[in-house]
Amino acid sequence: MDPKRGRGAVMSLALYTMMILALLALVTFGSRLYAGLTQNRQQNEQVRASLSTLVTALRASDAEGAVSLKEGPEGPALCLRQEDTGYESRIFLYQGGLYQQLCPQEDPFDTESAQLLAYTDRFEAEPEGRMLRLTTGEGTAWVALRCEGGEGVG
């Protein structure tokens, strides 16, 4: 066997091995980067989910006398009455989550029948004139009440 040929084969094998290792490193780096981006996107969606759910629910029920605040299991509860049915939708904080309960207006809070809307460690609802400030652990949203009785959120 020619020594130059043997050295060339070893060099080719070494180069091939380095290319394979470089490709494996790039694939590993790319998969970690993709996992990180996916996690950030999911966190951003979670942030938007809790606030947008609150704003959408409030907008759908924005009628005179339909919006009120009550004391929930762990702080304030946003209550959205449906006058034609006698039911109300209650949104409240309970054990690290924002929950929604649909029940007759006179029923007490029942955390067992409530559905989880989003995970959060904070929920506040405070009226300020015709505005309602909704705060979760993910941020704050100001909602202008369009109903005629908007000043009377109680």
Tell me the two tokens of residue 102: 């649909």
Residue 4: inside a domain = no
Q: In this structure, is residue 8 part of a structural domain?
A: no
Q: Classify residue 29: in a domain, yes or no.
A: no
Does residue 66 lie within any of the structural domains?
yes
Structural domain includes residue 73: yes
- Quote the number of domains for the chain: 1
Q: What is the DSSP string of 47-104?
A: HHHHHHHHHHHHHHT-STTTEEEEEETTEEEEEEEETTTTEEEEEEEETTEEEEEEEE
pLDDT by position in tens, the chain (length 154) = 566 677 878 888 999 999 999 999 999 999 999 998 888 887 777 666 677 777 877 787 777 778 888 998 898 999 988 878 889 999 999 998 889 999 998 888 888 889 988 888 888 988 888 888 888 887 888 888 776 444 446 5
Query: Side-chain half-sphere of 152: how many Cα atoms within 13 Å?
Result: 8
Domain of 68? 48-152
Is residue 74 included in any domain, yes or no?
yes
pTM for the model stands at: 0.64
- Is position 37 within any domain? no
Asked if residue 99 belongs to a domain, the reply is yes
- Strands of the sheet containing 131-136, edge to edge, are 123-128, 131-136, 139-144
Question: From CA 4, how far away is CA 115, in angstroms rounded?
Answer: 75
